[in-house]
Amino acid sequence: MQRKYMFILMIILSLAISACGKDKEKNIFYETGKVESPVKDVPKDILATQQAFTNLVKVVTPSVVNISTISKKKAVQPFLEISPFFGDLFEEPATRPHYRKESSLGSGFIINRDGYIITNDHVVRDAESIQVKLSNETIYDAKIVGSDPKSDIAVIKINAKEPLPVAVLGDSDKLQVGQWAIAIGNPFGLDRTVTVGVVSATGRSNMGIETYENFIQTDASINPGNSGGPLLNVNGEVIGINTAIVAAGQGIGFAIPVNMAKQIVEQLVKKGSVTRAWLGVAIQPVTEEIASSFGLKKAKGALISDVMSGSPAEKGGLKQGDILIAFDGKEVKDARQLQLAVAETPIGKPVVAEIYREGKTLKVNLQLASGESSEAKKPRPAKAATSTWLGIDVDELPRSKAKSGLTGVLVTAVDPESSAAATGIQKGDIVISVNQRKITTLADYENAMIAADKQGSVALLIRRGSTSIYFALKLR
């Protein structure tokens, strides 16, 4: 009887424990929506910002495409490569070129319903085949309409059987540092990745990425595969084309301003290539030493080291030694900005330029020619460099050089321990002018240097081969 009671008690205890276990299990796994959020009062502006981003992505993402290419690259053939059984001895020579297939990924965005797509030139360069995948997973073959390596912009085209979503191009000239920036692309093959940041800077140049640089810098994450994709503002307008990153840094990406791209894309669609305006001058930066030597209060503008015969610059009255400080109503901050301003000017457009010449500010009227003109295609002087000078010996020009029409004095020796040697002045250079005073004899040179010594600084115009170079220095 006692055993019977013990058995009943054990059953009751087991049922109680089982019930407790079920209650415990019920407390751990909650039903969705039955538990309150940890933060109840999220600020309305944060919710509005979040909603703005999600709305933007829904509307714009369909116009962003993924681009995959296959290209044929020349491979280096191993030295003395021989196939089994000496087969190469009876076939083509062992030096024949070998090629390998390479695939790459990039991004782009549709700009009209006919299927034109903007991307980077480096995304499709040398491509044998191009495929474009839309947001609905449809894949089309594409062809290159035109490309411009100097700006790294290309236009490709697909023939779609469906209505295409189109990206809206904004106005990159209105950008301000600190504004939101949203990048959409295909980094590492991850379809339509969205990253958010701000416009970190505008007008970035001298990056050594392209010939014509005016980049938007952003900290919105850009990675390999983002190239060619859009950089957007909060209105969903394209403000730039994602192009490059600083590999050693984080949060440093660059995009081509959409306003710069508009002119290029228009030409690429019409004729497949880009023709830029041409001024016909060799220019170099204005350093503090050059500014002081020329009597300019501030180092700014672009120094003209040479004017090409028959060029718009020569016809407009520009001279060697002029400092171009304004072009078409805009201040010229440096030589790179002038190069970009000229390239973006419509061919044949009358332009007023402001120059600094011999202590005076003057205005000249210019009309830029095409970079494809016969004058523009003539051999040009190489890019000039800037430096300082000290410790050089000069002599009269040899008769052979004087007969060719050159004037000046010949550099016969350069002290290897001098700053002149360290900065590039070489034996064989010809000093054409000193502080813009033309030199024809040794006496001219000595008198000009005496005057320069009193001033404390000097600017030498040197002729080296077909190139004219200014060297500025302090004498004390």
> According to the model, what pLDDT value does residue 2 have?
58
> According to the model, what pLDDT value does residue 198 have?
94
Three-state DSSP class for residue 459: strand
Burial 227-255 (b: 16+ CB within 10 A, else e): bbbbbbbeebbbbbbbbbbeeeeeebbbb
430, 411 in Cβ contact below 8 A?
A: yes
Residue 67: which region, alpha, beta or left (left: phi > 0; alpha: psi -120 to 50)? beta
- Mean local confidence (pLDDT), 109-117: 94
pLDDT in tens, 353-371: 999 998 889 999 999 888 7
Beta-carbon count within 10 A of 187 CB: 20
> According to the model, what pLDDT value does residue 463 have?
86
Q: How far apart are CA 93 and CA 464, in angstroms?
A: 45
Cα 401 to chain centroid, rounded: 42
Q: What confidence tier does 89 reach under pLDDT thresholds 50, 70, 90?
A: very low
Beta-carbon count within 10 A of 325 CB: 20
Q: What confidence tier does 390 reach under pLDDT thresholds 50, 70, 90?
A: low
With a pLDDT cut of 90, the percent of the chain lying above it is 29
Is residue 454 scored above 80 in pLDDT?
Answer: no
> According to the model, what pLDDT value does residue 238 have?
95
369, 376 in Cβ contact below 8 A?
A: yes
pLDDT in tens, 142-199: 999 999 988 899 999 999 988 899 999 999 999 999 999 999 998 887 888 999 999 9
Residue with tokens 């500010």: 361
- The catalytic residues are 122, 152, 227
> According to the model, what pLDDT value does residue 288 have?
85
Tell me the whole-structure pTM to 2 decimals: 0.66
Is residue 94 scored above 80 in pLDDT?
Answer: no
Q: What is the mean pLDDT of the chain?
A: 80
Is residue 17 scored above 50 in pLDDT?
Answer: yes
Least confident of 77-91, 109-123, 305-319: 77-91
Three-state DSSP class for residue 318: coil
pLDDT in tens, 117-132: 999 998 998 888 999 9
Domains of the chain: residue spans and CATH = 63-158 (2.40.10.10), 168-271 (2.40.10.10), 277-370 (2.30.42.10), 392-474 (2.30.42.10)
Is residue 45 scored above 50 in pLDDT?
Answer: yes
- Mean local confidence (pLDDT), 245-253: 75
Q: What confidence tier does 276 reach under pLDDT thresholds 50, 70, 90?
A: confident
Cα 272 to chain centroid, rounded: 21
219, 242 in Cβ contact below 8 A?
A: no
> Which one is predicted more confidently, 425 or 220?
220
| φ and ψ of 191, to 5 deg | -55, 130
Q: Which residues contact 475 (CB under 8 A, 6 or more apart)?
A: 390, 452, 453, 455, 456, 457, 458
Burial class (CB in 10 A: 0-12, 13-18, 19+), 257: buried
316, 364 in Cβ contact below 8 A?
A: yes
Q: Which has the closest alpha carbon to 283: 247, 337, 227, 219?
A: 337
> According to the model, what pLDDT value does residue 389 have?
42
Q: Which has the closest alpha carbon to 336: 300, 310, 370?
A: 300
Q: What confidence tier does 116 reach under pLDDT thresholds 50, 70, 90?
A: very high
What is the torsional sign of CA 247, 249, 250, 256? Answer: negative
Least confident of 3-7, 36-40, 317-321, 386-390: 386-390
| φ and ψ of 469, to 5 deg | -135, 135
